[in-house]
A and B are shown apart, each in its own frame.
Chain A
Amino acid sequence: GAVVSQHPSRVICKSGTSVKIECRSLDFQATTMFWYRQFPKQSLMLMATSNEGSKATYEQGVEKDKFLINHASLTLSTLTVTSAHPEDSSFYICSARGAGEGDEQFFGPGTRLTVL
């Protein structure tokens, strides 16, 4: 299957700082990328859907000014957690879907964010 990378895999930051997470599709062009967060022992919660070159569509209850998403190219999307707080600590996972790939999404390995 297609390969999606995420960087960093793990990040620890102080409360009030901003953290950027990168999601890259390595061997295909991702027309759509999805960002999920997952709390321990819970399922994935879709945060937003981003299409290359357009604004992200956020799910209800997700603050777009806090979770900034940029999908500047067909292989890169970034999620920036602004002014992070301890309650933002979570596992963030991106996935990517390319044109002609059907509905299958290819997941990145995830980023574990811990806010102190």
Chain B
Amino acid sequence: GQNIDQPTEMTATEGAIVQINCTYQTSGFNGLFWYQQHAGEAPTFLSYNVLDGLEEKGRFSSFLSRSKGYSYLLLKELQMKDSASYLCAVADDKIIFGKGTRLHILP
């Protein structure tokens, strides 16, 4: 079966660094996505990893270990606008989403 796990909620302080973990078990693998979703809006694309290692894009980085079925999204220099849900999604023949991690940023 397909299973994607990520923490339900996390809290961090403005200016700090936070890491959101995602573990997955899927029958196939064609890549892993991270999306950001603000309440009431559609998800927006953050990153895509298909090979092992770290992908850096500005304040956001995403890491993948295929052998461990593990990824994380790293957010640096947190800003209040980063308060959102972060969705881990795995591509098999379709894209399956995790339940999302609600990130709360404290001033």
Contacts and interface: CB of A to CB of B under 8 A. Distances in A.
B42 A43 contact: no
A19 interface: no
Interface stretch (A66-74, A75-83, A102-110): A102-110
A109 B100 contact: no
Contacts of B43: 44, 93, 107
Contacts of A34: 94-95
Interface in B26-71: 30-31, 33, 40-45, 48
Contacts of B98: 43
Contacts of B87: 43-44
A103 B91 contact: yes
Interface string A23-37: 000000000001000
Contacts of A44: 43, 87, 97
Interface centre among A103, A108, A109, A112 (most CB of B within 10 A): A103
A3 to B, nearest CB: 12
A1 interface: yes
Contacts of B75: none
Contacts of B40: 91, 110, 112
B42 A107 contact: yes
A26 to B, nearest CB: 15
Contacts of A108: 42
A115 interface: no
Contact of B100 (A43, A93, A104, A107): A43
Contacts of B99: 42-43
A110 B37 CA distance: 12
5 contacts: A44-B87, A45-B97, A46-B96, A103-B33, A109-B42
5 tightest A-B contacts by CB?
A107-B42, A43-B99, A110-B42, A103-B91, A44-B97
